[in-house]
Amino acid sequence: MSLFWLRVAVLLYGIAALAVLPAALYDRPRWRHVAVPATIAAVFFHFVSLSETLNLAHRGLPPVLEIASHETQTLLSLLLALAFLLVFWRYKTVSLGVFLLPICFLLCLVPAFHPGQEISPFPLLLHSRWILLHILLLLAAYAALFLSLIASLFYLIQERRLKQKHPTLPWLPPLETTDQIATRSLLFGLPCMTAGLLIGSLVAQVTVGASYFRDPKILLAFAMWIAYVAMIYIRRSAGLRGRRAVFLSGFAFLVVLAVWAANQFSAVHRFTAP
């Protein structure tokens, strides 16, 4: 049944992704009443699917719980959808959905209709649920960084049109709103990333030892944290906006992609049962 609920969520994400286009780009507020409820329903069924999947894994794989790479994709999709709903609830704008909802749809499409058997290179200890929290917190930080990057791009577009004395795009939120979204997303993501890295480091010390920290992925992860902190400091102290803020967010996002890619080739970053 978990696969069925995920397919329902994919269908609803697709409807929401289509409905948000006229709502945001063509100023058709009626379509907003389709996009937002469809996203809420998709998140509900997505959560049900993910809960059933984890429950089945908990029952069927003692004493080792393994998480498939596709499940990580769907979890990231769920976090992005929740970020869209949170922004809509706080700022009453659906513009970010033009980018976020199609990504949610694509991230869930393959796991829903072509579920693979690939297993990530590290099994998770059943008695240590801390590692699940580690993954969840890092994915939340990734989602927050991506949201900040999209908001910074929106800011750049609106600012450029104002400087050229062109009318602003009505489907984009005002400059102050986009700047608040970008900044608050970063401020939300930093504690998530910090806690996620600390939890992962503590679990690694217990299960693997010091050799864990020779993994290039781990070094990249801490470099990502440093870049994240530097980005927030520079953005807040220098008041960076527009093009420079986009470049700064883009650099940090590239580091995140490098960390994500390094996970596929890591030979050290794994947790085995005792």
> Residue 179's pLDDT is what?
79
> Residue 125's pLDDT is what?
44
Identify each DSSP E strand in 61-144 by its residue range.
64-65, 124-125
Q: Is 274 found in the same domain as 165?
A: yes
Decide if 126 is inside a domain. Answer: no
The tens-digit pLDDT sequence of the chain (274 residues) is 678 999 999 999 999 999 998 888 777 888 999 999 999 999 999 999 988 877 776 555 443 334 455 677 888 899 999 999 999 998 888 888 888 898 898 888 878 876 654 444 444 443 457 778 888 888 888 888 888 888 888 888 888 888 888 887 788 888 888 878 887 888 888 888 888 887 777 676 666 555 555 666 677 777 777 777 777 777 666 566 656 666 776 777 777 777 666 665 555 554 443 3
> Residue 65's pLDDT is what?
38
> Residue 116's pLDDT is what?
55
Decide if 125 is inside a domain. Answer: no
Please state the separation of Cα 141 from the chain's center in Å. 7
Domain ends where: 120, 139, 161? Answer: 120
Residue 253: which of 203, 185, 195 has the closest Cα?
185
Q: Is 139 found in the same domain as 270?
A: yes
Q: Is 266 found in the same domain as 148?
A: yes
What one-character DSSP code corresponds to residue 121? S
Domain ends where: 99, 120, 141? Answer: 120
Write out the residue range of the structural domain in which residue 220 sits: 131-274
Decide if 80 is inside a domain. Answer: yes
> What is the tally of structural domains in the chain?
2
Q: Is 174 found in the same domain as 47?
A: no
CA gap 64, 58 in Å, rounded:
9
pLDDT in tens, 99-117: 889 889 888 887 887 665 4
> Residue 158's pLDDT is what?
83
CA gap 114, 15 in Å, rounded:
20
Q: Is 84 found in the same domain as 29?
A: yes
Lookup result for tokens 């959808």: 81
> Residue 1's pLDDT is what?
67
> Residue 206's pLDDT is what?
62
Q: Is 206 found in the same domain as 95?
A: no
63: number of Cβ within 10 Å: 10
